């Protein structure tokens, strides 16, 4: 079972965090800090797996973003790399060549897509087509709604 | 700006841009605080806030949270969004709650209600949103609220596939919080049969759930094995186009395959059915065959997915450990990976081979790759890969290759990363000891370790080499010669000085015949290091010097001069000062015979498991392979562990020789006296035995909660008031104790809600494990009930457990806390010894942490006989005619714990004029020293 997934930039800024195990905020921050600094210090050709406390860390860099997952001892490292890749593919498909900015400005979408891929730290749907279908169905529901707040956003509300 | 789809929230985008444009942390915080103030006022004031605005503000709060700031409001607004009829608002509400609501929030009831509504929805998208939220929070409340609905959703024929997938994983999450949630009976087979579902996504999700269920209840879910094997073989016989979108980069359903292979690792053997077994082996062979085929794609995703399945298959092969052919093939495959250009594969191959090395079938096959593994240890660029190589070398080591592997590890140690040195030192030390046929080799290895990585050589390692040299006569002369040579180096590690000092002090005479290592030369080389060493090492060297006086009377004068030096006899360090002056006196007053007796060679240490191994196991739980090649497994599934564990505990209970005595402490061999506690003198008389439990005549003098009385006795009245009397009887043997508590109701009415609760922090419970039997909740008028307690001393501890007793008397609640007579001294075994060994031990226990002293006022009048009785009741042996002053009391005892024994010496000196006592305790463990001292202070 995956324990958490972190997305952070080369500058060490956290962009997304999803926790599948309960930790106090202080602990989460500490783990995040430690992992970001450990991983950023590693060289490109190094292996993508680390031991961290009782868990295994699997990470991969895509452009300016690092994707980092913690899994349990019995979990499969290579396939975790491919979960990350599948997630990147989904983001890419949804945003159209995704970049870090997309994830910053549309973090909620990034969460929704992740929730379709993984539930409770386990893979829910491995088919790219099916995940995209589910996300598209959500978007259709949204588009049915009349846009509001236009005036308010322009200070006319 | 980035593209925004659907329901873009402009205000949010503007805010995010603002934050990103902030040039400094300060301006960012300023902008954020402004926004927080704005949102707060909107939430407070504006009752007419519409859903869109709420959504937008909640989203901004989320963003602020993700920046790493704490958010303490907005929860209520988010919960409001849950019941919005606009999907986008509902979705943001759920997101906020998943990320920010903790499980014990007051809002949980409201949230649960909203989720209930959404679960009823006809729209599967809403249902899934609700399920994902449950899985995200996964609290006990949720488990209780949805225990009925979710299993139904999972197996119902009406449920859509997407919902089933979420329901399976949601149920898994709740099961992890609350294992009772899974219904049994007919549900079992319905859940298992999800493995046959036509929808691959459903099967994948269900396999995760079943894996967890099997772990809890393997027998009930045994039916899943054949279904899983069938599913696997269908995947591998299908062409990659069959599975359409579940084929990932030309690999058919890698996620499902890996999960099924994992599921099968829960059983050993996976199945008794030869047909199923055959099909499984076919699958495993297919996977191994496919690994040899040329890749269908150059993309790393293809090879990762393919190898993920391969590694999981190898895990299963290793787990089954029954097919030599498959094991050897797996080993060859991994061997190929060792020189793959992908670092990830090399890392995993080394890790996996580590397990193969422990199977009797593949151990030899693994050894063929020794050279490559040694190269990996030396050449890999990534320290985590080098670490794996070290682990593997450790696991593949046996008698045949030990010398080579140990040598290579020693060579590598010179340049090894600091982060792995300590562990490597332990591994080398263990291998050298374990596989030494010739102990001169062992001695060489350890001295090399100290030379190369002295800073990383822990006490356990150098203690161990000394134990082994002392126990093996054949190596003593060689050891003396080798340390002597090692000490010639101008810069010597302090650990080398310690080992050298100890060994020459014991066996220097064996090489003294050679003029190059004549007594004076030995002494000079050691003493040339003296001034560079810490005081602990100096203290050790002083002991070596006095031993030299015994071994080599001819250099006595030189050594006495050293003792007399101001820096020793007047050292600021009390220990050095004491040793120097006592050794000096000893060398002056003692006759040759006395000296020879006092400074006799150390007796052999009891043979036991190396404590180094224990250290390594502690450092890397779960990662230290037992270097022994394991035997093929018994066919009983999953019971192996429990059995060996039981076995181990019984062993611990009955074996006394397994104790870990530390080298420089005292390790008195267990004396023949048994049941010593039965000879206790009951200082205050055994009141309890002299009366019937219901009579109250003889108990007037029983003091309430005077805990200290029970330091010195095991039976008596522990507590008494007008309602209740509590008596105790106890007996102790080695590290085990049994306590009977007798509750007597002194009143004319029953005591109800009678509830004694043990109070002993869990942390302490690991050191003193106390088990208490339940008692009836009603204690009838005039009746007595008995409650049994057992205690096992695992490690030394302080204080003692308490019993909190609550009951109702005529409807009024009563509550007392009573200390239980379970202080650490109860596990004493009195030890008889003569003056010589007493003083030798006393001196050995001179370390700062090994001694404690207190001076206190005596009870008036000062009662020497009483003190003697008490000490004897305390559990120690009173040693007569050891102290020249007959008034002084001197005692010795051993505290038995499960893991070790702690020797303890004590001296109590009365000062009749001042009506004072001085208490000195010396023990091989600091905690024991202070605890014994604390327990006894002010008691006489």
In terms of DSSP H, where are the helices of B67-218?
A: 75-82, 87-100, 108-119, 124-137, 140-146, 149-155, 161-177, 186-192, 200-216
Determine the 3-state secondary structure of A49 from DSSP.
Answer: strand
Q: Indicate the range of A24-28, B441-445, B608-612 predicted with least confidence.
A: B608-612
User: Using CA atoms, how far apart are residues B287 and B236, in angstroms rounded to an integer?
Assistant: 8
Q: How many CB atoms are located within 10 Å of the residue B186 CB?
A: 9
Contact between B3 and A108 using a beta-carbon 8 Å cutoff: no
Which of B351-365, B656-670, B797-811: highest mean pLDDT?
A: B351-365
Q: How far apart are CA B788 and CA B852, in angstroms?
A: 35
DSSP-derived secondary structure letter, B630: B
pLDDT at B785: 86
Q: B225-239, B346-360, B857-871: which range is least confident on average?
A: B857-871
A83 to chain B: closest CA residue: B255
From B882, B898, B893, select the one nearest B922 (Cα to Cα).
Answer: B893
| pLDDT at residue B342 in the model | 92
Segment B355-372 mean pLDDT: 92
**What is the predicted pLDDT for the residue at B191?**
93
Chain A interface includes B122 (CB < 8 A): no
Predicted confidence band at B608 (pLDDT cuts at 50, 70, 90)? low
Report the C-alpha dihedral over residues A95, A96, A101, A105, rounded to 10 degrees.
Answer: -20
Span B874-917, pLDDT tens digits:
888 888 878 888 888 899 998 988 888 888 999 988 888 888 88
What's the pLDDT band for A31 if we cut at 50, 70, 90?
very high
Question: In B, which residues are within 8 Å of A104 by CB distance?
Answer: 2, 16, 20
- Measured between alpha carbons, how far is B486 from B497 in angstroms, rounded to an integer? 9
Q: Which of the residue ranges B299-313, B419-433, B833-847 would you say has the lowest mean pLDDT?
A: B833-847
Q: In chain A, which residues have their Cβ closer than 8 Å to the Cβ of B172?
A: 120, 122
pLDDT > 70 fraction of chain B, expressed in percent and rounded: 88
List strands edge to edge, sheet with B784-793: B716-720, B724-733, B736-745, B784-793, B768-772
CA distance B178 to B169: 14
Interchain pair A119, B347: CB under 8 A: no
Q: Do B131 and A45 touch (CB under 8 A)?
A: no
Lowest-confidence region among A137-151, B145-159, B760-774, B871-885: A137-151
**Which of the four pLDDT bands, split at 50, 70 and 90, describes residue B113?**
very high
Sole residue written with tokens 């060792």: B338
- Chain A contact present for B28, CB below 8 A: no
In angstroms, rounded to a whole number, what is the distance separating the alpha carbons of residues B770 and B793? Answer: 9
Average pLDDT over residues B195-206: 94
* pLDDT at residue B429, rounded to an integer: 93
B chain contacts of residue A147, beta-carbon cutoff 8 Å: 7
Q: Is B10 annotated as a binding residue?
A: yes
Architecture of domain B825-936 in this structure: 2-Layer Sandwich (3.30)
Tell me the per-residue pLDDT of A55-71, one tens digit each, with 9 for 90 and over. Answer: 999 999 999 999 999 99
Backbone angles phi, psi at B717, to 5 degrees: -90, 120
Which among A79, A86, A133 is the top mutation candidate for probing chain B, defined by the most B β-carbons within 10 Å of its own β-carbon? A79
| Residues ≥6 apart with Cβ < 8 Å to B693 | B725, B727, B742, B744, B784
Across chain B, mean pLDDT equals 84
pLDDT of residue A148: 52
Q: Which of A90, A126, A129, A155 to mutate to test the interface with B (most CBs of B within 10 A)?
A: A126
- Name chain A contacts of B204, Cβ cutoff 8 Å: 123-126
Identify the three-state secondary structure at position B860: coil
Per-residue pLDDT, averaged over B725-743, amounts to 87
3-state helix, strand, coil in chain B (%, to 5): 55, 10, 30
Q: Is the pLDDT of residue B674 over 60?
A: no
What does the pLDDT average to over B385-413? 94
* Domain range list for chain B: 1-101, 401-407+416-666, 701-822, 825-936
**Cβ–Cβ below 8 Å for B3 and A102:** yes
Confidence at residue B710, expressed as pLDDT on a 0 to 100 scale: 84
Among 2.60.40.1230, 1.20.1250.20, 2.30.31.20, 3.65.10.10, name the CATH number for the domain at B701-822.
2.60.40.1230
- B4 contacts A77? CB cut-off 8 A: no
State mean pLDDT over B857-880: 84
Please tell me whether B52 is known to bind a ligand: yes
Which residues in chain B touch residue A48, judged by CB atoms under 8 angstroms apart? 343-344
Asked if residue B661 has pLDDT above 80, the reply is no
Q: pLDDT digit string (tens) for B430-479?
A: 999 999 888 999 999 999 999 999 889 988 888 889 989 998 889 999 99
Please report which confidence band the pLDDT of residue B105 belongs to, taking 50, 70 and 90 as the band edges: low
Rounded CA-CA distance B319/B314 in Å is 8
**Angle (nearest 5°) at CA A98 between A92 and A101:** 150
Q: Does the beta-carbon distance from A77 to B348 stay under 8 Å?
A: yes
Interchain pair A47, B347: CB under 8 A:
yes
Task: Look at residue B623 in the predicted model and tell me its pLDDT.
Answer: 53
Confidence band (pLDDT; 50, 70, 90) for A147?
low
Question: Quick one: B607 exposed, middle or buried, by C-beta within 10 A (0-12, 13-18, 19+)?
Answer: exposed
3-class state of residue B380 by DSSP = coil
Q: Give the pLDDT mean for B126-144.
A: 90
Report how far residue B455's alpha carbon sits from residue B414's, in angstroms, rounded to the nearest whole number.
12
What is the pLDDT averaged over residues B647-655? 35
Minimum-distance CB partner of A49 among B4, B200, B344? B344
Terminal-to-terminal C-alpha distance of chain A: 47
Which residues of chain A have a CB within 8 Å of the CB of B301? 82, 85
From chain A, pick out residues whose CB is under 8 angstroms from the CB of B248. 82, 86, 126
Q: What CA–CA distance (Å, rounded) separates A120 from A67?
A: 18
Residue B745 has pLDDT above 80, yes or no: yes
pTM equals: 0.69
- Span A7-19, average pLDDT: 94
Closest partner residue to A108 among B11, B92, B307, by Cβ? B92
Q: Is the ipTM of this complex over 0.90?
A: yes
Structure tokens at B222: 């045994």
Which residues between 576 and 595 in chain B have a beta carbon less than 8 angstroms from any beta carbon of chain A?
none
Nearest to A82 among B128, B138, B304 (CB): B304
- Residue B609's pLDDT is 62
Distance from the B527 Cα atom to the nearest Cα atom in chain A, whole angstroms: 45
Nearest chain A residue to B343 by CA: give it.
A47
Q: CB within 8 A of B591, min separation 6: which ones? A: none
Question: Does the annotation list B42 as a binding residue?
Answer: yes
- The confidence score (pLDDT) of residue B6 equals 45
Which range (A126-140, B7-21, B195-209, B334-348) has the least confidence?
B7-21
Burial B150-164 (b: 16+ CB within 10 A, else e): bbebbbeeebebbbb
CA-CA distance, A31 to A8, in Å (whole number)?
13
DSSP string, B533-601: S-HHHHHHHHHHHHHHHHH-GGGHHHHHHHHHSHHHHT-SSHHHHHHHHHHHHHHHHS-HHHHHHHTPP
Mean pLDDT across the stretch B546-565?
93
Please identify which residue in the block is written with the tokens 């062993």: B651
Question: pLDDT higher for B607 or A97?
Answer: A97
B173–chain A nearest CA distance, Å: 6
Q: What pLDDT, in 10s, does the model give residues B52-94? A: 889 999 999 999 998 888 888 888 889 999 998 889 999 999 9
What are the angstrom distances between the C-alpha of B19 and each of B15, B37, B448? 6, 15, 59
Residue B61: partners with Cβ closer than 8 Å, 6 or more residues away: B39, B71, B73, B74, B96, B100
Q: How many CB atoms lie within 10 A of CB B681?
A: 12
- Are A145 and B622 a contacting pair at CB < 8 A? no
**pLDDT at residue B684, as a whole number:** 29
- From B220-234, B317-331, B723-737, the region with the lowest mean pLDDT: B723-737
Do the Cβ atoms of A22 and B262 come within 8 Å? Answer: no
- Residue A110's CB is within 10 A of a number of other CB atoms, namely 23
| Chain-chain contact of A120 with B70 (C-beta, under 8 angstroms) | no
Q: Is the pLDDT of residue B659 over 70?
A: no
For residues B713 and B661, the answer to whether their CB atoms sit within 8 Å is: no
Which residue carries 């010739």 as its tokens?
A: B438
B173 CB near a chain A CB, below 8 Å? Answer: yes
**The domain at B401-407+416-666 falls in which architecture?**
Alpha Horseshoe (1.25)
B75-82 vs B108-119: helix crossing angle, rounded to 10 = 20
Please tell me the distance from the alpha carbon of residue B716 to that of residue B707, in angstroms, as a whole number.
11
Q: Distance (Å, rounded) from C-alpha B708 to C-alpha B713?
A: 9
Q: How far apart are CA B273 and CA B278, in angstroms?
A: 9
- Check for a shared fold between B401-407+416-666 and B825-936: no
């Amino acid at each position: 079972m995956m324990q958490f997934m972190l997305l952070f930039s080369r500058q060490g800024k956290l962009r997304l965090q999803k926790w599948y195990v309960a930790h106090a905020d202080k602990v989460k921050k500490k783990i995040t800090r430690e992992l970001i600094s450990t991983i950023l210090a590693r060289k490109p050709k190094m292996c993508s797996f680390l031991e961290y406390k009782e868990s295994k860390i699997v990470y991969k860099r895509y452009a300016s973003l690092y994707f980092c997952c913690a899994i349990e001892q019995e979990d499969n490292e290579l396939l975790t790399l491919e979960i990350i890749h599948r997630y990147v593919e989904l983001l890419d498909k949804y945003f159209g060549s995704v970049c870090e900015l997309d994830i910053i400005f549309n973090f909620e979408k990034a969460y929704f897509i992740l929730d379709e891929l993984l539930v409770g730290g386990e893979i829910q749907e491995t088919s790219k087509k099916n995940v995209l279908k589910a996300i598209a169905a959500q978007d259709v529901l949204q588009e049915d709604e009349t846009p509001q707040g236009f005036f308010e956003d322009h200070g006319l509300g | 700006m980035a593209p925004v789809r659907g329901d873009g929230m402009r205000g949010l985008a503007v805010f995010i841009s603002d934050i990103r444009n902030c040039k400094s942390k300060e301006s960012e915080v300023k902008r954020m605080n402004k926004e927080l103030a704005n949102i707060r006022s909107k939430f407070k004031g504006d009752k007419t806030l519409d859903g869109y605005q709420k959504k937008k503000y909640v989203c901004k709060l989320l963003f602020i949270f993700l920046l790493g700031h704490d958010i303490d409001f907005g929860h209520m607004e988010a919960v409001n969004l849950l019941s919005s009829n606009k999907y986008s608002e509902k979705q943001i509400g759920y997101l906020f709650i998943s990320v920010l609501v903790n499980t014990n929030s007051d809002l949980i009831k409201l949230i649960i209600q909203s989720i209930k509504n959404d679960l009823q929805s006809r729209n599967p998208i809403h249902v899934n949103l609700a399920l994902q939220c449950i899985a995200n929070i996964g609290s006990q409340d949720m488990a209780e609220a949805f225990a009925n609905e979710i299993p139904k959703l999972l197996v119902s024929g009406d449920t859509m596939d997407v919902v089933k997938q979420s329901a399976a994983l949601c149920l898994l999450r709740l099961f992890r919080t609350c294992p009772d949630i899974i219904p049994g009976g007919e549900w079992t087979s319905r859940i298992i049969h999800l493995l046959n579902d036509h929808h691959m996504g459903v099967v994948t999700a269900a396999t995760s759930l079943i894996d967890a269920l099997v772990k809890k209840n393997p027998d009930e879910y045994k039916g899943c094995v054949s279904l899983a094997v069938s599913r696997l073989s269908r995947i591998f016989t299908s062409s990659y186009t069959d599975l359409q979108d579940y084929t990932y980069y030309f690999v058919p359903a890698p996620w499902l395959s890996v999960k099924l292979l994992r599921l099968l690792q829960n059983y050993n053997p996976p199945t008794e059915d030869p047909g199923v077994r055959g099909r499984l082996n076919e699958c495993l062979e297919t996977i191994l065959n496919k690994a040899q085929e040329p890749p269908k794609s150059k993309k790393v995703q293809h090879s990762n997915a393919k190898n993920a399945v391969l590694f999981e298959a190898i895990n299963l092969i290793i787990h089954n450990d029954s097919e030599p052919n498959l094991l050897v093939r797996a080993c060859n495959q991994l061997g190929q990976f060792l020189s793959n250009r992908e670092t990830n594969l090399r890392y995993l191959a080394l890790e996996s081979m580590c397990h193969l090395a422990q199977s009797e079938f593949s151990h030899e096959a693994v050894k063929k790759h020794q050279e490559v593994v040694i190269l990996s240890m030396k050449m890999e660029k990534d320290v985590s890969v080098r670490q794996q190589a070290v682990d593997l070398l450790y696991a593949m080591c046996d008698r045949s290759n030990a010398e080579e592997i140990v040598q290579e590890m020693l060579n590598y140690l010179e340049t090894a990363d600091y982060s792995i040195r300590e562990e490597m030192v332990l591994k080398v030390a263990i291998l050298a000891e374990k596989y030494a046929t010739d102990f001169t080799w062992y001695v060489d290895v350890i001295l090399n370790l100290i030379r190369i990585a002295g800073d990383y050589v822990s006490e356990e390692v150098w203690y161990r080499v000394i134990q082994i040299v002392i126990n093996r006569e054949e190596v003593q002369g060689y050891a003396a010669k080798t340390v002597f040579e090692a000490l010639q180096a101008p810069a010597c590690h302090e650990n080398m000085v310690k080992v050298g000092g100890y060994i020459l002090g014991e066996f220097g005479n064996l090489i003294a015949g050679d003029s190059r290592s004549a007594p004076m030369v030995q002494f000079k080389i050691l003493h040339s290091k003296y001034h560079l060493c810490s005081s602990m090492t100096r203290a050790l060297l002083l002991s070596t010097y006095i031993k030299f006086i015994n071994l080599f009377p001819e250099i006595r004068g030189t050594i006495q001069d050293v003792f007399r030096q101001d820096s020793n006899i007047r050292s600021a360090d009390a220990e050095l000062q004491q040793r120097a002056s006592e050794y000096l006196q000893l060398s002056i007053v003692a006759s040759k015979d006395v000296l020879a007796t006092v400074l006799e060679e150390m007796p052999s240490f009891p043979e036991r498991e190396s404590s180094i191994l224990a250290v390594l196991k502690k450092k890397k739980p779960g990662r230290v392979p037992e270097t022994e090649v394991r035997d093929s497994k018994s066919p009983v599934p999953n019971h192996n562990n429990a059995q060996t564990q039981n076995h181990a505990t019984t062993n611990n209970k009955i074996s006394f020789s397994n104790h870990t005595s530390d080298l420089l402490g005292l390790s008195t061999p267990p004396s023949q006296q048994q049941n010593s506690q039965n000879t206790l003198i009951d200082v205050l008389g055994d009141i309890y035995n002299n009366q019937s439990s219901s009579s109250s005549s003889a108990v007037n003098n029983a003091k309430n909660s005077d805990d200290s009385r029970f330091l010195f006795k095991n039976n008596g009245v522990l507590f008494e008031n007008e309602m209740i009397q509590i008596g105790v009887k106890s007996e102790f043997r080695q590290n085990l104790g049994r306590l009977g508590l007798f509750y007597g109701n002194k009143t004319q009415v029953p005591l109800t809600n009678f509830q004694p609760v043990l109070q002993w922090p869990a942390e302490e419970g690991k050191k003193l494990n106390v088990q208490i039997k339940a008692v009836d909740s009603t204690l009838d008028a005039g009746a007595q009930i008995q409650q049994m307690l057992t205690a096992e001393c695992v490690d030394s501890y302080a204080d003692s457990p308490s019993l909190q007793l609550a009951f109702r008397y005529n409807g009024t609640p009563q509550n007392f806390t009573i200390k239980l007579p379970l202080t650490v001294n109860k596990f004493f075994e009195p030890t008889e010894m003569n003056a010589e060994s007493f003083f030798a031990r006393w001196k050995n226990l001179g370390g700062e942490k090994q001694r404690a002293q207190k001076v206190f006022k005596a009870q008036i009048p000062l009662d020497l006989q009483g003190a003697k009785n008490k000490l004897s009741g305390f559990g120690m042996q009173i040693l007569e005619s050891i102290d020249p002053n007959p008034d002084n009391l001197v005692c010795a005892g051993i505290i038995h714990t499960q893991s070790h024994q702690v020797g303890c010496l004590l001296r109590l000196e009365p000062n009749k004029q001042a009506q004072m006592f001085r208490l000195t305790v010396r023990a091989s463990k600091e905690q024991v020293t202070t605890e014994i001292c604390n327990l006894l202070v002010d008691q006489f």
